[in-house]
Structure 1
Amino acid sequence: MEMYIVLAVAVFMMAMFVWHKVPFGLTTMTCCIILTLTGVIDVETAFSGFGNKIVVLVAPMLALGAVLGKTSMVGKIRGVMETMKGKRGYLMVLTLFFFTALLAQFIPSTAVMAIMVVFAAQIGDNGDITPTRVILPMLGVASCFKFRFPVSAGAANFATINALYEGIITDQAYHLTMLEPFIFCIIPMVMVGIFCIFGWKLMPKSEGSLNQDAVNAKTQESVMTPGQEKVVYIVFILAMVIMITNVGGMLYLAPAIAVALLIWTGILDAKEASKLMTSDTIWMMAGVLVVSDALGSSGASEAIGNLLLNAVGENPNSFMIMLLFAAVTVIMTNFLSNAATQTVIVPLAASLALAGGWDPRGLVLIAGIANMADVALPSGSGEAAVAFAAGGYNPAKVLRFTLPYMAVSILGYAISAQLLYPLYG
C-alpha cells in the first residue's frame, strides 16, 4: 500500500509541475505533508530536505550569484559592446554571441536577453545582418551556455541534479561531481555554438519587427563602491577555488561562508540574503529530496523503472536511449518550464537506469541539462518570452532555425552522454 501512496504522490507532483499554476515549492511541501499524514514518513523526515547538504550548497549560491550580478562587471561588458556599434559582418555576430554566453554564466538568462536585445538593436535594419535575424540565435546561445561553467550558480549544477535522483540511486559512485555537468556540456556547447554562428542565416530576413519597448528596457546599474566590488570578487573567487578543490571537505559549506562574509561586511543585506535563500527553488528542492527518498525506499522507483524497461525492451541500444531521452527533454521543455521538465524527466531517467542496471549519469545529465534548449516557443522560459517579444517572431515562420537548433542540441547531448557515460559502461 505504501508504494502506491508514494506513486500517487509522485504523479501528483509531476502533474502539478506540468500545470504550473502554483509555486513548485508549494507542490513539493504539499507532497511531504501528504506522505506524513498517510504514515509513509514521519514529521522529522518530511522536512529533512532543508538540512540536506545539497540545499545547504544551492541556497547561498543563489544569494552569491545575485550579489555578483550587481557589480559593475555587467556594465563593463556593456561598455565593450558599445564599441562594437557600427561594425558589420561576423565580427558583430561573434561579439554578440560571446557576450551572451559570458553574461549567461553570472546572471539569469532572462536578464541576459533583456540586455543583449539592446545591443542587437544597434545593428540597424540595412544589410544581411539585422536585429531580428540575430536575437533568436542569441537566445539559442544563452540557453545552451546558461550557467554551464562551474562559476556562480553553475557551480551548483551537479548538486541540483543530484537532488532529483539521489534518493532513487543511493550509490554515491553514480552521483555527479562538481565538474561533470560542465564536462558533459562541452560537446553540446561547441556544436550549438558553431550552429548559431552560421545558422543565423537560416532566419528569414523579413520575419518579425523589432519591439522598441523591449529594446528600451533599462538594466540595473551597480550600486556598490569600488572597494565593495573588490571584496565581492575576492570572496567569490575564494569560494569557487574552495568548491573546485574541496579544501578541507568544505565544498558544500563554501557558499555559505561567502554569503556570511558579505553580510558581515555590509555588502549584502541580511533580509535580502534571507529572501534569496528561501526562494521557491529551495522549497522545491527540499521537497523533491524527500519525495525522491520515498520513491527509493518504498520500491516505487524500481516499479517505474521496470515499467519503462519493459517499454524499451531488454538490452536496448545505448545511443538510441540517449537520443530518445534527449529528444523528449528538448521537445518537452519548449512547452513547459525548464524546471518542470527537469524535475519530471530526471527521476524517470534514474528509475529506468536502476531497473536496467545501467550507469544513470548520462541519462540524468541529459534530462538535467538539455531542458534549457527552449528556443521554439515563447512558453519555454522567461528568456524565450523576451526574445520572441523583442523580435516579434511568429514561431511557425522561424522553424527554419529552431528545428535544426533542436536537432543539433539533441544530437550533441546524446553524443556527449554516450561517450562519457554509456549505459553499459
Structure 2
Amino acid sequence: MQAQTEEHGVLSRLFKLREKNTTVRTEVIAGFTTFIALAYIMFVNPNILADAGIPKEAAIASTIWIAALSTMVMGVFANYPVAMAPGMGLNAFFAYYVCGVLGLHWTVALGAVFFSGIFFLILTISHIRQAIIGAVPTNLRRAIGVGIGLFIAFVGLKGTGLIISDPATFITLGHVTQPTTALALFGLVFTAGLMARGVQGAILLGIIVTTILSMAFGISAAPHGVADIISTSLPHMGETFAKLDIAGAWDYGIFSIIFTFTVVELFDNMGTLIGLTSKAKMVKSNGEIENLDRALTTDACGTIISSVFGTSTVTSYIESAAGIAAGGKTGLTAVTVAILFIVSLLFAPLIGLVPGFATAPSLVLVGALMMSEVGKIEFQDFTDGLPAFLTIIMMPLTSSIANGFAFGFISYSIVKTLGGKAREVSLIMWLVSIAFIINLFLRS
C-alpha cells in the first residue's frame, strides 16, 4: 500500500496531477479511451504503406513503434494528454501521389519525410511557424482540411470497390454484388451506425467485424492457431529501418513534396493542438498554450524518426479528444496510450490478416469527418471562394494534395490582386505562389 502511494506520488509530481485536479485512475482510464478511438491506425496505415511498396509486416512494426515512442515523448516531455501516430492524409499523399503518381521508390519518399521533419524543426525552433500560419488566410486553411478529406474519401471508395475506373467517364459505380465490395459496404454502414450512436472505438469495431465476416465467408485468410494471433517474437522493422534514401530525395529536387509534407503537417498539427488544448483547458487567459513549443518540437522530431523507422509523417490525433472528454488532462494519459501501443505488438500477426477492403471504409468516414470545416468557409466573396474551391476540388481530381495547394495559393494571390484587394495578399503568400508556378512549369 505504501509502495503504491509512493508510486502515485511520483506520477503526481511528474505529470502535475494535483495542479491539474486529476488522478492516476482518471488519467489511465482516459488513456484507454483514447487508445480504443485511435487503434484503427494500426490496421489502416500498414495497408496504405503496403500500397506504396513497403513490406506489410515492417509497416505494422514501424507504425506501432513510432506511435508508441512519439506519444510517450508527448506525454513525458510536453505533458500533453495527446496521442500521436502516422497522419491520415499524409500517408495517402505518401503512398498514392509520391510513390504512385510520381513513381518514386518508397525509400526516396521516406527521404522527403526526413527533410520535411528537419524543416519543421527549424520552423519550430526559430518561431517562423507563426509567420507562415498567419500568412495563410483562414479560408484556405479550412479548404486544405476539406480537400484532404475528399482525397482520403476518394482513396477509400476505390479501396472498397464502390468506384472503379471507366474509359468514358473516368470513374463510375463499381459492382456492389462483388463479395469484397459488399462486405466493405456493410462495414461502411455498420461503422457509420456506431458513430451515429456515439460508440467509442466505432472505426476499430467496424474493421474487426468486417474482417471476421470476411474470414467466416472464406474471402480472406483466417488464423489457424495461436501463432497467427499472438506473436512469439515481436514484429521488427528490419526491412524499413534506416532505409530512407536521403540522397535520392535531395537529387529529385522535390520542393513541392517537402513543402506539402511540411505545410499539411504544420496546419493539421497546429489546428489539432489548438482544439485539443482548448478542450483540456490548457490555454491561458492571454491565449498562450501551455508547453506548445515542446509539443511542436516533439512532433517535428517524431517526423524525423518516423522516416528512419519506415513510415509516413506522424502528427497529433484528434481522437485524443475522446480521452480528454473522459477526464484526461496530463501526459499520463498519453503514456498510457503509448504502453497500450507497445502491448499491441503482441497481436501483430492478427493485424496482418486484416484485408484492405476492411480498412477502406474507415478512410471514407475519416474523410466525412474532415468535411465539417466546409461550412465555415466564406464562399460569398468570390476572391475567397474560388481559391478555396480550387484547393478542395483539385486534390481528389488530380490525386494530389500538392496540386490542391498550388492552385489554391496561386489563384488566391492572382484573383485577390485582380479584384483590387492586393493588400490582402502577404509577401509570404506571393513567394509561395511564385514557387508553385515555377514548379508547375518545371513539371509540365
Verify same fold: TM over 0.5: no
**Normalization by structure 1: what TM-score?**
0.26
Indicate the structure whose relative CO is greater, using CA pairs within 8 Å and at least 6 residues apart: 2
